[in-house]
Structure 1
Amino acid sequence: MGQPGFFDLDQRHTSLNKMGDPLIMLKKKIPWEVFRPIVANVHDKPRKSNAGRKPLDPVLMFKVLILQSLYNVSDEQIEYQIRDRLSFMRFLDLSLEDPVPDARTVWSYRQLLTDQGLLEPLFEQFNRSLIDQGYQAKKGQIIDASIVPVPKQRNTRTENAAIKADHTPEGWDDKPAMKRQKDTNARWTKKHNQRHYGYKNHISVDRKHKLIRHFVVSDAAVHDSQMIDPVLDQHNTGAEVWADSAYRSEEIEQWLKAGRYKSQVHHKGKRGKALSEAKQKVNQARSKVRARVEHVFGYQENSMGGKFIRTIGINRARTKIALMNLTYNMMRFLLLERRTIGIIAA
């Protein structure tokens, strides 16, 4: 059997279109070139020789990371899927003859973005693009946090005590290979009587469009309320702030008031004293709005392959979570655009 020619591939692409390839809109509607000024110089360091393959296009590699985040697959799996799936190749503008980034190249590129602190600028660049296209943060904001689990560490109690005290456990410096595999930044936390290990993704979502406007990453042990200041979006046109009762305290209420925000934070009962019926009704009304932020985490969990990440250290976790949030915003933008087109057509 001969190799597929141009018309064979064209017919396959046509078939993919009819079946509803979700990557077509992602490729066409996202302004990928706006990211080039940020990633253009990511490979800029003197090459020791001209031997070997030149670095792949940085925007193409960025698209690979978005694709990887959309399906939450490993570096090895994204390499395999790009080689195996025509839809992935078309999204990346790769022909059958073009070189495909291997797993090591994907890891190295992501590490370069991490080392150079480029994920937050990339996230903010897309936020600016959203505003340029009419999706300004409006009608107030909703804040919440979600646990992002990572592989559990098998440490002794003595080692865990040293880690919590920000010390290197005894003997680890003598075993550098083992030490590199140890995550000393992730922490345990308890939620709904279940223990979780990893990090937290703190986000602010605008009520109008349900887009993530700000995010902060911490270890899982950090209380949600501690991150209200850095995660709050100061550019939302609405003053209202919704949050669950974990963010309720007299200090936070005063802080919001001083910042001219209107608190819609859930009321919290006191020990031995249940909430009044009036406050319960207030909470019920606020829950209808606050639920929108749960939809964000639900999408990441159910439509993006889950939130579990295989990384070591908070810097790499921050990169993965930033990509997760950015990918969510891209997919949310596509949905908003489809709705707009539907309204215009009607």
Structure 2
Amino acid sequence: MLNGLFDIYNRLEYLTENGDILPNLKRLVPWEDFRGELEVIYDHERKSNAGRRPFDVVMMFKILILQSLYNLSDDEMEYQIMDRLSFMRFLGLDLDSRVPDAKTIWLFRSKLEEHKLTRKLFDKFNAFLAESGFVARKGQIVDATIVRVPTQRNTREENEAIKAGNPPVENWSDAKKCQKDTDARWTQKRGKNYFGYKNHIEVDVQHKIIRDYKITDAAVHDSKVFEDILDEKNTSRDVYADSAYRSTEHEADLKQRKFRPHLQRKGCKGHQLTSREKRGNLTRARIRSRIEHVFGAIHQRAGDVILRTIGISMAEVKLGLRNIAYNMDRFCTLMLQNA
């Protein structure tokens, strides 16, 4: 059967009408603004003009954002670009266009880590958000989420050496070294054990945009990076966080920095919360819970994410890209709401 002249156009229109977010993401995000930071990746002298030209850096960055939004591996990403019309339209590709393979996608992401670009790209987009009128307002909320990585099968002696900061790499083959994540750590939450990293984020109350973040191993307590990611530029001095962040020292430090702390209280066996304290928790929770909407939005689209990278430096790239992708998605939502 021969295809009609407008068959693909009609199919894309159908996808748009039924909730495809990518046309708005393509139209509203200023992708070309990132070119200056990204071009450093190919900023080296070519030995000759032989061979294919590298893929456009902005298109490759868009691929990484897609990957973060939908939690796709490099191989899945290559396949989905070939298979999905919505992805091709977002990337500006035709049916006969050359598509980056999985290794090219992996290499480009590695270049982001090599040139330390993820944080620069995050800050670049946040500056654009502020210029567009979405400045941080009505206070800020801080929380962290655990991001798992595949469990390592180490001996007890190997684990003890890794915890001490001296992984026994001299006893490992090159193949084994490539599969061993010596930066990830175990932690326990609500009686369950998790192995991986933490994505500590700070969002503003009004817009629910991630204003700052920090990646650590999972064993680092949430309160250890609390003050590192607070936003001095928020129009309000109110700070909201759950009971894990509450301590006399933190409250004193926040007040010294002219912040107004709104930290949840937690009862214990010998000291139950009073009715007044419970009411205060309920009042604070109505605002603090807005950060759960952020984690929920990420997980709703990407699912239960397990990082397949090795080491904290690549975890910073993957999770940094995920934070950028969320902010882009959130920006489009806010723009449509305002319209």
TM class by shorter chain equals over 0.9
The one-character-per-residue Cα deviations of 1:225-279 (angstroms, maximum 9, x if unpaired) are 0001211111111100000010011110111011000000112335511122211
Where do 5+ consecutive residues of structure 2 fail to align? none
1:176 aligns with one of 174, 177, 186: 174
Task: Please tell me the residue identity of whatever aligns with 1:185.
Answer: D
8 Å CA contact 1:146–1:201 kept in 2: the answer is yes
8 Å CA contact 1:69–1:324 kept in 2: the answer is yes
Shift of 1:177: 1.6
The question of 1:210 aligning with 2:190 is answered no
Show the counterpart of 2:246: 248
Matches within 5 A, 1:180-329: 180-329=178-327
Alignment partner of 1:146: what SS?
A: strand
8 Å CA contact 2:237–2:258 kept in 1: the answer is yes
8 Å CA contact 1:300–1:306 kept in 2: the answer is no
Shift of 1:309: 1.6
Equivalent-residue separation in structure 2 for 1:172 and 1:251 (angstroms): 44
Q: TM-score, normalised by structure 1?
A: 0.94
Shift of 1:171: 4.4
Alignment partner of 1:300: what SS?
A: helix
Task: Please tell me the residue identity of whatever aligns with 1:146.
Answer: T
Distance 1:18 1:271, change over 3 A: closer
Task: Please tell me the residue identity of whatever aligns with 1:275.
Answer: L
8 Å CA contact 2:169–2:177 kept in 1: the answer is no
Show the counterpart of 2:153: 154
Shift of 1:151: 0.8
The percentage of aligned residue pairs carrying the same residue is 50
Which segment is superposed worse, 111-120 or 296-305?
A: 296-305
The question of 1:68 aligning with 2:87 is answered no
Show the counterpart of 1:344: none
| Aligned Cα root-mean-square deviation (Å) | 1.5
Show the counterpart of 2:99: 100
Distance 1:15 1:301, change over 3 A: closer
Equivalent-residue separation in structure 1 for 2:297 and 2:276 (angstroms): 33
Task: Please tell me the residue identity of whatever aligns with 1:322.
Answer: G
Equivalent-residue separation in structure 2 for 1:272 and 1:262 (angstroms): 28
Equivalent-residue separation in structure 2 for 1:215 and 1:307 (angstroms): 18
The one-character-per-residue Cα deviations of 1:311-338 (angstroms, maximum 9, x if unpaired) are 1100111111011111111111111111
Equivalent-residue separation in structure 1 for 2:278 and 2:304 (angstroms): 33
Show the counterpart of 2:110: 111
Distance 1:170 1:89, change over 3 A: closer
Where do 5+ consecutive residues of structure 1 fail to align? 342-346
Alignment partner of 1:41: what SS?
A: helix
8 Å CA contact 1:29–1:334 kept in 2: the answer is yes
